[in-house]
Amino acid sequence: MRKLAFFFVVASLIAFLAVPAMAGPFSDVPANSWAYKAVQDLAAKGLVIGYGDSTFRGERTATRYEMAMVVARMLDMYEKGQNAQDQKIQLNANDIATLMKLAEEFKSELASLNVRVAALEKKAALDTVNFTGDAQFRLNTASQDYYALSPLKANTYTVTQDIYDYNTSTNGAIIGTVSPSMTNAGNPGLQDTKNDTYMKYRIRLNIAAPVADNISFNGRLVVEKNAGHNTAGGSNNPVIAATSGYMDNSNTLFVDRSYITWTLNPYPITFVLGRLPTMDQGQYYNNMFLDEGIEGGQVIFDMSNFLPSTTVSATWAKFFDDGSITSTQEANGYKDKDVYILNLKTKLFNAFNLEADYGYVDKFAYYGSLYSGANQTGTPGLPVAGATALTTGNNGQYGKYDWWLVLGSWNIYGVDMYLGYEGTSTDMPVLDGSGNISGISSVNGGAWGIGGDMPFLVGTLGTDLWFGNNKWYNPFINNTVSTGYKDYLDFYYLIPVAKNAHLSLVYIYQKGQKPYNTDTTNGYYYTFNPSQANNYNEFEFELNVNF
């Protein structure tokens, strides 16, 4: 490579520096030479020095070391310019790309010269908005059966917590309900479902945009549809309002991530605000118990200066109501709900990941006068057969909900594993013989989770197992397992079919909860599984593509 062929590439990058006029520095480059001006500029800026006899020797083939020296001087000038307050050096995206290519070409020589390219890499990152995405196409077939409860008296009722509002289709209410128990195996609500086959597709577009050195924006746009699913319409569940198309036959387009991240340099504190990817910054929602994004804010403290690989975070999240709630509706439970979460993550012995969580919702559910009229008239008294569950009354009270979790994960001989336990405490109403609330009782439950994956043949084989009791209640896992189930099992095999695509073969089994308490005197079953679901089996064939 000739010198003059090379330095015209770098000369195109140096117009951003003001250079004083000077006489020709090299005796072998006359003023009438076609290269005179470019060589003069390079010399004035200190990018080329020449030889001790004041010659440039432009016709001689340059060595890689000589060319690396020119690139090194350019990088040094750019670094100093970026650190200066006036920051006179300005490069556009094409300039940055060219300089980065030169730095990559001569990276070994630059390394031997101990040249840093941090400022250049930072500039390149700030000039880049990254778009990534994924597409999922899933064929499901599922079956479900139910169990009948034993009659307790002439009339038997089920007391539960309802995260759907069937009466007004209004988001914002998580209410206590009482309805007739299904005690006859021939009840239409207990009819088994078989061969529930449907196709689900989902396409997600991710956006990552740096705003400044310490500020960035992330967003994700999702479109999805369930074609042929037996469930009609969307979900009014205020907990999973973001994914209302999950069980919907129509096309659903929504934003499930949109948040700003701001690191308070030089302090080890990061703020996150917007529609968050999860309700805390821990990893456990990927493994067990939590899989919902939510509006809110986080503050994350990096404690690595005191404890290696340790962070502590505090999160405030919000469940919004429908936005047009009357004062009467608000008095009966329709209102925003605030969630507060503390999270600790650390790494022990550089091998064992440990995290702990505590979450609290003060006014999670509303319990008014628990009764139902045959035609939703609000007539006092216990419900009649076939009546829709209804909660009303201005003298009700709220119940809290909180949870805690400890989870460990590790890798042994290429096998990734996790083990955790979650405890939950849910306030539930206690009824007297007339259907009125006689008190509030905290129902404490829990579930173990264990799982992992490992390489197997040409792909990855994995499993997740949760074992809960009848008092365990977690409303934040609706996209994975309904709140009416206590045990969960899946097996999956991931088979790569291309660099950015894989097939998934999945089997899922879920076991329904039984009533956690039975009041034989007044004829009540207390349960978190009002549909009386028993066994659920599902097979999935899935194609995932990243782009």
Q: Tell me the per-residue pLDDT of 117-149, one tens digit each, with 9 for 90 and over.
A: 555 555 555 567 889 999 999 998 999 999 999
Asked whether residue 335 is assigned to any structural domain, the reply reads yes
pLDDT of residue 310: 93
* Backbone dihedral angles phi then psi of residue 182, each to the nearest 5 degrees: -95, 105
Q: 221 vs 545, which has greater pLDDT?
A: 545
> With 80 as the cut, is the pLDDT of residue 399 above it?
yes
- What pLDDT shows up at residue 191? 86
CA distance 512 to 493: 25
On whether both 119 and 264 belong to a single domain, the answer is no
Do 79 and 143 share a structural domain? no
pLDDT value at residue 160: 85
Give the model's pLDDT for residue 106.
Answer: 62
> CA separation (Å) from 367 to 239, 359, 376, 531?
18, 21, 17, 20
Same domain, yes or no: 121 and 144: no
* Same domain as 450, residue 352: yes
- At 231 the pLDDT is 47
pLDDT reported for residue 373 = 37
Counting other chains too, the contacts that 380-387 makes at CB distance below 8 Å and 24 or more residues apart are 380/435, 381/434, 381/435, 382/155, 382/157, 382/178, 382/434, 382/435, 383/157, 383/178, 383/179, 383/180, 384/180, 385/180, 386/180, 387/179, 387/180
Would you place residue 228 in the very low, low, confident or very high pLDDT band (cuts 50, 70, 90)? low
Q: How far is it, in rounded angstroms, from Cα 440 to Cα 427?
A: 6
Confidence of residue 36 (pLDDT cuts 50, 70, 90): very low
- Structure confidence at residue 482 (pLDDT): 56
- The whole-chain average pLDDT of the chain stands at 74
- Cα 539 to its chain centre, rounded Å, is 25
Give the burial class of 524: count Cβ atoms within 10 A of its Cβ; 0-12 exposed, 13-18 middle, 19 or more buried: buried
Residues 143 and 94 in one domain: no
Domain match, 217 and 84 both? no
How many distinct structural domains can be found in the chain?
Answer: 2
> Chain centroid to CA 89: how far?
39
Share of the chain residues as helix, strand and coil, in percent rounded to the nearest 5: 15, 45, 40
Given this model, what pLDDT does residue 384 score? 57
What are the φ and ψ backbone dihedral angles of 240, each rounded to 5 degrees? Answer: -115, 35
Residues 519-528 pLDDT 10s: 999 889 999 9
Give the list of residues 6+ apart from residue 55 with CB closer than 8 angstroms, or none.
26, 27, 28
Query: Over the Cα atoms of the chain, what is R_g?
Result: 32
Q: How many CA atoms lie within 13 A of 252 on its CB side?
A: 23
Whether 541 shows a pLDDT value over 90: the answer reads yes
Closest CA to 338 of 401, 394, 396: 401
In a domain, 6, yes or no: no
Cβ atoms of 363 and 331 within 8 Å: the answer is no
CA dist., res. 333 & res. 473, Å (int): 20
Reading the block at residue 239, the tokens are 């907990």
Q: State how far the Cα of 104 lies from the Cα of 110, in Å rounded to an integer.
A: 9
> Is residue 123 helix, strand or coil?
helix
Mean pLDDT computed over 64-93: 59
- Do residue 423 and residue 470 come from a single domain? yes
- Give, in degrees to the nearest 5, the angle at Cα 220 between 170 and 272: 85
- Reduced to 3 states, what is the DSSP secondary structure of residue 107? helix
Pure H helices in 246-366: 327-331
Among candidate residues 471, 464, 468, 473, the one with its CA nearest the CA of residue 486 = 468
**Whole-prediction pTM value?**
0.72
pLDDT category of residue 99 using cuts at 50, 70 and 90? low
Residues 111 and 210 in one domain: no
Domain that holds residue 397: 132-149+189-233+243-546
pLDDT, tens digit (0-9, with 9 covering 90-100), for 490-501: 999 999 999 899
Q: For 309-338, what is the mean pLDDT?
A: 76
Asked whether residue 9 is domain-assigned, the answer is no
Among 335-344, 437-446, 506-515, whose mean pLDDT is lowest? 335-344
pLDDT grade for 470, boundaries at 50, 70 and 90:
very high
Does 89 have pLDDT greater than 80?
no
Q: What is the pLDDT of residue 277?
A: 72
Write the DSSP string, 149-169.
PPP-SSS-EEEEEESS-TTT-
For residue 169, is it within any domain? no
Give the confidence band of 324 by pLDDT, cuts at 50, 70, 90.
low
> 403 versus 100: which is more confidently predicted?
403
Element (H, E) at 105: helix 93-105
Is the pLDDT assigned to residue 155 strictly greater than 60? yes
Query: Tokens at residue 208, please?
Result: 């990552």
515 in the same domain as 473: yes
Same domain, 91 and 229: no
Which residue type does 295 have? E
- What is the CATH number for 381? 2.40.160.10
What CA–CA distance (Å, rounded) separates 30 from 126?
42
Mean pLDDT of 52-78: 59
pLDDT at 94: 64
Nearest to 294 by CA among 311, 316, 314, 313: 316
pLDDT > 90: what percent of the chain? 31
b/e map 151-162, b = 16+ CB within 10 Å: ebeeebbbbbbb
- Give the model's pLDDT for residue 246: 42
45 vs 21, 90, 132, 222, CA distance in Å?
11, 15, 41, 51
Residues 66 and 204 in one domain: no
| pLDDT tops 50 at residue 372 | no
Strand partners, 526: 159, 517
Q: Residue 295 falls within a domain, yes or no?
A: yes
In a domain? residue 457: yes
Comparing 399 with 65, the larger pLDDT belongs to 399
Question: Which pLDDT band holds residue 411 (cuts at 50, 70, 90)?
Answer: very high
Segments of 8-115 assigned E as strands: none
Instruction: State pLDDT tens for residues 380-395.
Output: 445 555 555 444 444 5
Instruction: Compute the average pLDDT of residues 281-285.
Output: 47
Kind and range of the H or E run holding 118:
helix 118-126
Residue 337 phi, psi (nearest 5): -125, 130
Residues 204 and 99 in one domain: no
Higher pLDDT, 213 or 386: 213
- 3 state SS of 297: strand
Task: Look at strands 352-370 and 252-263 and give their pairing.
Answer: unpaired
Residue 390: inside a domain: yes
Given a cut of 80, whether residue 60 has pLDDT beyond it is no
Q: Is the peptide bond before 266 cis (omega within 30 degrees of 0)?
A: yes
Q: Is residue 8 part of a domain?
A: no
